[in-house]
Amino acid sequence: QVQLVESGGGLVQPGGSLRLSCAASGSILSVNGMGWHRQIPGKQRELVASITSGGSTNYADSVKGRFTISRDGTKNTVYLQMNSLKAEDTALYYCNCVGRRWSGSVFNSWGQGTQVAVAS
């Protein structure tokens, strides 16, 4: 089993910052990539940012220039630094990790979600 534990969500005022963390643990041989998605009730989950094992990053247009994804490969941990937050960033943020288990099988695991609320 592979478990993802997220932290760092909360309530922040518009223009403020938050840093999300997600640590993957369990039977992990290798990680191909990690990322953050978000979901608003009644809408589809959308990709916010992702990072590969090689360090390549990808961002949703709506967060480019404001959010930064980074990763500590030694700890299988991914971070999302969110600056200049807007009300429309309010959502439940999910961490995702794709890789291979020691058994050789591929996994695609999700965290339980951490709430981010941006309001004055």
Q: How much is the pLDDT for 73?
A: 84
The predicted pLDDT at position 7 comes to: 95
Which candidate, 93, 61, 90, places its Cα nearest to that of 80?
Answer: 93
Q: Which residues of the chain have pLDDT under 70?
A: none
**What letter does residue 17 receive in the DSSP assignment?**
-
Dist CA 100 CA 44 (whole Å): 27
Residue that is written with structure tokens 């999302």 in the block: 80
